Structure 1
Amino acid sequence: MENLNTSIKGKHALPAMDGNPHDVLVVIPTYNERENIEHIVNLALDSTKRVHVLVVDDGSPDGTGDLADAMAARNPRIHVMHRTGKQGLASAYLQGFEWGQAQGYTYLMEFDADGSHPAAKIPELIAQLDAGAELVLGSRWVPGGATENWPLSRQLLSRMAALYCRIWLNSGIRDITAGFRGYRADTLKTFDLSRIGAAGYCFQIEMAWMYERAGLPVVEVPITFVERVHGNSKMSGNIIIEALWRVAAWGIGYRSRGIQHVVTGK
């Protein structure tokens, strides 16, 4: 996986599998998140001793990658992947997953660097994977889920996006766009991820629907999603347009085949 555009720093030993095993890799993509990254990584590490963190930095001009390197030099549970240029959310996660699989981690998790995902919920997502879930989502739109500091317009946009996906994709997942999630690494290996076409946040929809179509157990855990305090959101009009046309195209292509509703959200 390491190529001309990618380098990794940190202690690259395989995760320990006895005592307090470090069998969970939390992948955190970054681009200009210097104000957030140290706090967010520490929250993830403090949530459970099972966690290692991989920061995937796309050459942040603000020095996020350098700060992550300094953290990794002090803590063997932190690893850093440096990529040349802004290559996007989907490829950051996919390269992070590939590295995690090669290192032998049991579970692979997605986590935002902006503070919107509650790190205190990481153990609950891990518990669902331990119990047999193949994919677990931190969901805003199941009973007990919520958002904090979101304007009404943002809530409506997110809810409408979720409904749009449920209708077009005949999906039972309430928050299919959720970016706080965990996968079983061995199951993820069985999919041809080179076929994933979405580049932005639509990647989350494509990955979750892939699991749902395969009939694999998907669990939604309620979380409170908090609006970022520092930095700027990476959401853009192009990302929304991509999601609209891709979801419609997927729905037209697969509607006649049908999919199983396998979600067992709380």
Structure 2
Amino acid sequence: MLFVVLPAYNEEAGLELLLDDIRKACQGIPTQIIVVNDASTDHTLDIAQNYAQSFPEVQVLSHPQNKGLGGSLMTGFKHAFAQRRILRKQCSEWVGYDDIILTMDADNTHPADRIPFMVEQIDQGADLVVASRYAPGGKQYGLNPLRQVLSWGAGQVMTLFFPVPGLKDYSCGYRAYRASVLESTYMIYGERLIESRSFAGMVELLVKVAGYCREIREIPFDLHYEKKQGKSKMKIMATIMGYFALILRLKKERWGWVEWVGE
């Protein structure tokens, strides 16, 4: 089973089109699409619920109060874990090891046609697949220079402090996880799996999960930020500070201040 987790905050402009694209891309793949409405103030929830009435593979969860990207991912992950247990009970021959949990932005900037290829990579043995605009063949369109520098710089800084061999894109949320690996990591960290409320939460999740993956693959994709409608949710300074806070916290947790100072 493929579980597609979509954190959605004020995404009324592109959500329905994205859901159409995901369903088209996933034809032939058993799929559940989990839309997590993060207390949107526009019509995101209405659009998602109306869509789910016509397509039962779409499930809608909603936060009464905004929990941020990390909180929305956690809600979607826990729902996917629960669905896996339900499927296991319903079918004695069902094997959950090869389930996949895929995350992507709900603003239609991530092309859904990459999903089958990412699923294929997991089926071939990868535990984590990251769609990367920095991998050979990847491109990005519509990002202003400041956002480009921030995304590239985040990868450089994280590579320095938390290197993951072969990985260039640390901040992109378009990823496929082997469900058993992600759930095992959650069992270790619990609610601390994603503590960052800013966009640094995507980097935190990557760093924590990567430590339990036998194989991580990076595939190219084209980020189409020009397709995004409405204002960006990213607050530049808050994101930068979030990255530095993440580095300090993870370094302290892993090695302690004495060991870090001695590096």
Q: TM-score, normalised by structure 2?
A: 0.83
The residue aligned with 1:234 is: 233
Q: Is the 8 A contact 2:128 2:213 kept in 1?
A: no
Verify: 1:31 aligned to 2:31, yes or no: no
Q: TM-score, normalised by structure 1?
A: 0.82
Verify: 1:61 aligned to 2:58, yes or no: no
The residue aligned with 1:174 is: 168
Distance 1:203 1:144, change over 3 A: same
Distance 1:251 1:146, change over 3 A: farther
Deviates more, 1:140-149 or 1:214-223: 214-223
Amino-acid identity (%): 27
Which SS does the other structure have where 2:60 is aligned? strand
Q: Is the 8 A contact 1:211 1:218 kept in 2?
A: no
Number of matched pairs: 235
CA displacement at 1:215 relative to structure 2: 4.9
State the distance in 2 between where 1:179 and 1:35 align. Answer: 19
State the distance in 1 between where 2:190 and 2:111 align. Answer: 27
State the distance in 2 between where 1:189 and 1:215 align. Answer: 12
Q: Which amino acid aligns with 1:29?
A: P
CA displacement at 1:214 relative to structure 2: 3.0
Q: Which amino acid aligns with 1:41?
A: L
Q: Which amino acid aligns with 2:82?
A: A
The residue aligned with 1:86 is: 66
Higher normalized helix content (fraction of residues): 2
State the distance in 1 between where 2:171 and 2:247 align. Answer: 11
Deviates more, 1:202-211 or 1:242-251: 242-251
State the distance in 2 between where 1:187 and 1:213 align. Answer: 10
Distance 1:102 1:25, change over 3 A: same
Q: Which amino acid aligns with 2:81?
A: Q
Q: Is the 8 A contact 1:45 1:52 kept in 2?
A: no
CA displacement at 1:45 relative to structure 2: 1.0
TM-superposition CA deviations, 1:190-243 (whole Å, max 9, x none): 123322222222121112112332353111111111114311111112122111
TM-superposition CA deviations, 1:106-131 (whole Å, max 9, x none): 11111111111111101111111111
Unaligned runs of 5+ in 1: 1-22, 258-266
State the distance in 2 between where 1:81 and 1:212 align. Answer: 27
